[in-house]
Chains A and B, each alone.
Chain A
């Protein structure tokens, strides 16, 4: 039910399976730069990892299910424990650092 798609080719050498979900709402002003960064992020992930894009306009009930308040929210579902990154994404390195992907 989630409108999910993968972004880019995966080429990380690590074996860790990373699951990311990015929540946004339609065409908000702050999604453009975010989408760019997500492109790059997806491209840097390994084969077993995934990055899902979740449009809350289409699936409003997921806001409660994943406890989302502000948009965009990038949620690292796996590995545990979860990490949330709230706000416009503009710097890939910072995103990777916060989500502890390096």
Chain B
């Protein structure tokens, strides 16, 4: 079955590739939720794919629409110049006085002309609600819209309509919601000072779709959905292993080190050596000429390199030879979804074999525990789907069975915990492998020290 994709990154997958040709889609949401950009993206995608698309705008002048498109990287002018796209706007700056008794024949003519003259197969109407603001005779507006929708349906035109959500709107005005085959609701909300945008597919006739609320962001590259956890757990397991950089630790893990494409969690309190161990795993990877990407939330790239170099990490040289990239961001700089999206983009661009995130625990300042958990589940899923080995470092006090990590612990494949034991005047570093899926790991805890060769187990 043919589909009409929106072109919004990550959205079309939710509805199996796009809506069905000829369907009426309602994009609804409050002001600033991204309806207009979503609609423009849909039109531009159809036009760029060689179909003809028309946009009739009720709120912005054509120049404004072009400008909006530019802000998310859409070159609408080129599409217009090549005849793939037409944009009509009903906005006027003329002084207008509306009397009683009018019909919308001209509106119907314009919409049908926008489709027929141009030969469009996809039409975007943005926003019909402004008609209700301009013309007080709601019955007249509704009957005109009915005519328009019927005509579009009869002609098999895929139509994207945007609509405001009004708290107290009489239901009978909400015509599009009844007529629409697909209703997509966009919203944005603020919690803990961080704004999160979300999308939900309220209905979608004739196709299966996800029912959750899906986070997304809008930036200069358009509307981007955060990576969504795949519905099925079908990541394949690779039966090959890589070294942690310490033969003894490899032995404790069952003899072969870490399994490729698996997720290892390294937890520990402050100063326990968890960053050093993460960097050692990364460093041994670059020595095998594998690409490594480090996300550092507490140190700048230079700090990370210098601080781990003291423990023998080769990441500094690897940065110069472009085998390693270190990305540093303050956790509070973005909301949790934005972090996830930016990280997945960076990973897609750099294509590493190993990803280190240090520390995941500081993400708590970018969102609630629950959000962080969901985000990490999606991140792990994303990494596995791309056959990337993941090293997650987490600050963790010794009552580690209680907090964040225990949630994450159930989904990671390997969990190594580090801590310090104080005996009289001496402190001893200890390490224990709590789990290592599919591997015969040693149960005990081991003393270790940190030298210029990294983590050395006694």
Contacts and interface: CB of A to CB of B under 8 A. Distances in A.
Contacts of A61: 113, 117
Nearest to B101: A88
A71 B102 contact: yes
Nearest to A72: B102
Interface string A25-52: 1001010000000000000000000000
B399 interface: no
B109 A56 contact: yes
Given A63-B113, A67-B92, A70-B135, A85 B106 contact: no
Contact of B104 (A60, A70, A88): A70
A21 interface: no
Contact of B97 (A56, A64, A82, A98): A98
Contact of B99 (A75, A83, A89): A89
A69 B101 CA distance: 13
Given A56-B105, A67-B90, A86 B110 contact: no
A81 B104 contact: no
A56 B99 contact: no
Contacts of B98: 70, 86-87
Nearest to A89: B99
B250 interface: no
Given A83-B94, A84-B92, A71 B99 contact: no
- The binding surface of chain A is classed by DSSP as loop
B95 interface: yes
A28 B103 contact: yes
Contacts of B134: 69
A88 B94 contact: no
Nearest to A87: B99
Contact of B109 (A60, A73, A81, A90): A60
Contacts of B91: 67
A68 interface: yes
- The binding surface of chain B is classed by DSSP as mixed
A93 B94 CA distance: 21
Nearest to B116: A60
A64 B111 CA distance: 10
Contacts of A68: 106, 110
Nearest to B94: A82
A70 B101 CA distance: 10
B100 interface: yes
Contacts of A73: 106
Interface in B56-107: 88-92, 94-107
Interface string B98-135: 11111111110110011001000000000000010011
B135 A64 contact: no
Contacts of A87: 98-102
A30 B113 contact: no
Contacts of B101: 30, 87-88
Contacts of B97: 83-86, 98
Interface string B275-288: 00000000000000
A87 B107 CA distance: 14
- Most chain A C-beta atoms within 10 Å of own C-beta, residue among B88, B102, B114, B131: B102
Contact of B113 (A25, A60, A67, A89): A60
Contact of A71 (B88, B92, B105, B114): B105
A84 B102 contact: no
A13 B95 CA distance: 26
Contacts of B114: 64
A64 B86 CA distance: 12
Contacts of A71: 102-106
A39 B99 CA distance: 19
A27 to B, nearest CB: 11
A88 B100 contact: yes
B106 A63 contact: yes
A69 B99 contact: no
A60 B108 CA distance: 10
A63 B109 contact: yes
Contacts of A84: 92, 94-97
Contacts of A25: 103, 105-106, 109
A33 to B, nearest CB: 9
A90 B92 CA distance: 24
A83 to B, nearest CB: 5
B133 to A, nearest CB: 12
B364 to A, nearest CB: 52
**Closest 4 pairs between A and B when the two form their complex, measured CB to CB:** A87-B99, A88-B101, A70-B102, A25-B105
Given A28-B105, A71-B105, A71-B106, 17 more contacts: A25-B105, A25-B106, A28-B103, A56-B109, A60-B109, A63-B113, A64-B110, A67-B89, A69-B90, A69-B110, A70-B103, A70-B106, A71-B102, A81-B94, A82-B94, A86-B98, A86-B99
5 contacts: A60-B113, A63-B113, A69-B110, A71-B102, A75-B94
Interface of B: 88-92, 94-107, 109-110, 113-114, 117, 131, 134-135
